[in-house]
């Protein structure tokens, strides 16, 4: 695990800047054979773009959708990932009716599939088996989204699995040690209230931005015609 505890870390300018900061903590992976950077849309793609660029690695996405508590969607009760993986958080003293949970899952599954079609333009996902895979997001609060991603990826047998974020809650970063071979949290400020508070600019990422960054990353990796 690579953590830098800090009660007053420098505020990240935006997601692109955060990606460059994170890439420095991952520099030991540059040049490793079969390296792949997987970003979690939407916010993780700008971070992942900079990491992939710095490490000279291909960039792809893994679709994960947070399952939000009704009326307080920022509070994650769990997450869904491509491949049908579902992770639910334990909520002491709170029990949602099964039909409410099923409705949330159905809604988020439909959105997951919509975005997968939109972002990939019909291209298949890059292979995972036998590769070193670095999973990147823009931050870690509860950790449920990242954990869901890691569990989905384990089923595809990567050789080495890394969870990497620019900023995260210390307890959430530590908890991921059970699911990843390495966890890299560039900053773990305390107290930690939300990911966005550690960014100067933290606008919602758009589908257009995600699509554009993925296209740019593919162009970088495509050899120029002779």
Mean pLDDT of 9-13: 78
> Would the pLDDT of 7 be above 60?
no
Q: For residue 218, give Cα distances in angstroms to 70, 92, 114, 137.
A: 38, 44, 21, 19
| pTM assigned to the model | 0.87
- Residues 48, 145: Cα–Cα separation, whole Å: 16
**Where residue 79 falls among pLDDT bands split at 50, 70, 90?**
confident
Q: Domain 2-62+128-219 belongs to what architecture?
A: 3-Layer(aba) Sandwich (3.40)
**For residue 221, what are the contacts with CB-CB under 8 A and spacing of at least 6?**
58, 59
Mean pLDDT of 20-43: 96
What would the 3-class secondary structure string for 135-159 be?
EECCCECCCHHHHHHHHHHHCCCCC
What H or E segment, with its residue span, contains residue 36? strand 35-39
pLDDT tens-digit series, residues 137-151 = 999 998 888 998 999
Mean pLDDT of 29-53: 96
pLDDT at 226: 47
**Where residue 82 falls among pLDDT bands split at 50, 70, 90?**
confident
- Give just the sign of the alpha carbon dihedral 15, 16, 17, 23: positive
pLDDT tens-digit series, residues 181-216 = 999 999 999 888 899 999 999 999 999 999 999 999
């Amino acid at each position: 695990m690579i953590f830098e505890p800090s009660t007053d870390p420098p505020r990240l300018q935006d997601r692109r800047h955060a990606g460059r900061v994170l890439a420095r903590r991952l520099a030991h992976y540059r040049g490793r054979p079969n390296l792949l950077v997987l970003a979690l849309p939407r916010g993780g793609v700008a971070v992942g773009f900079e990491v992939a660029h710095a490490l000279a690695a291909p960039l792809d996405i893994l679709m994960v959708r947070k399952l939000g508590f009704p009326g307080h969607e920022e509070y994650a009760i769990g997450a869904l990932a491509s491949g049908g993986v579902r992770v639910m958080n334990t909520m002491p003293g709170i029990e949602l009716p099964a039909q409410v949970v099923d409705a949330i899952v159905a809604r988020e599954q439909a959105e997951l599939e919509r975005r997968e079609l939109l972002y990939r333009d019909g291209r298949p996902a890059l292979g995972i088996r036998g590769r070193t895979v670095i999973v990147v997001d823009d931050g870690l609060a509860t950790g449920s989204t990242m954990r869901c991603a890691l569990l989905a990826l384990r089923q595809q047998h990567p050789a080495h699995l890394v969870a990497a974020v620019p900023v995260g809650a210390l307890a959430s970063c530590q908890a991921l040690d059970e699911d990843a071979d390495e966890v890299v949290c560039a900053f773990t400020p305390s107290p930690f209230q939300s990911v966005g508070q550690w960014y100067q600019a933290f606008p919602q990422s758009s589908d257009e931005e995600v699509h554009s960054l993925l296209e740019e990353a593919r162009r970088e990796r495509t050899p120029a015609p002779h």
